[in-house]
Amino acid sequence: MIYNANTMSLENANTNLPNMSTTLESWFQTLIVGILIKTSVNNRVVETTTNYSASGVIHPFKVQQLEIKPEGQRAWKWFVLRCKPDLIMAIDDTAVIHGARHRVMGIIDYTEYGYLEYELVRDYDTIMEETPEP
């Protein structure tokens, strides 16, 4: 039997959502994400990077998404990172992806569907050797 909106009651409509993790695996690729940790050593800020292997995809925002951002600065480069839920980051974390620093600005938890979505902005605080984004 095929189950769709026609065959389910309204009470159960929100409980039968599909887990998209197997579908997304064909879209995802292996990413090395470096999470920067800042510590103070002898009154100096020392940055250490811990690399994590993650399965996901990063891509730029659409034009419409950029226009609705409250910052309204089109010069900033915004990206979306969709990944499996095993990559845990927090708001304001700095992640190095493809050699460029990105700051986590938003998190949308889709773990019920098999993935997380992070809103990232290119971090311009420090200049790193950048490689082109895919």
Give me Rg for the CA atoms of the chain.
Answer: 18
Q: Is 111 helix (H, G, I), strand (E, B) or coil?
A: helix
Residue 44 covered by a domain:
yes
Asked if residue 107 is part of any domain, the answer here is yes
Number of compact structural domains in the chain: 1
pLDDT beyond 60 at 64: yes
pLDDT for residue 26? 82
Predicted confidence at residue 131, as pLDDT, reads: 46
20/84 Cα distance (integer angstroms) = 10
* Assigned domain for 14 exists: no
Whether 61 shows a pLDDT value over 80: the answer reads yes
Q: Are 97 and 58 in contact (CB under 8 A)?
A: yes
By DSSP bridging, strand 115-122 and strand 29-41 are unpaired
- Residue with more model confidence, 114 or 104: 104
Residues spanned by the domain of 96 = 21-122
Read off the pTM: 0.72
129 in any annotated domain:
no
Kind and range of the H or E element at 67? helix 63-67
Residue 40 domain flag: yes
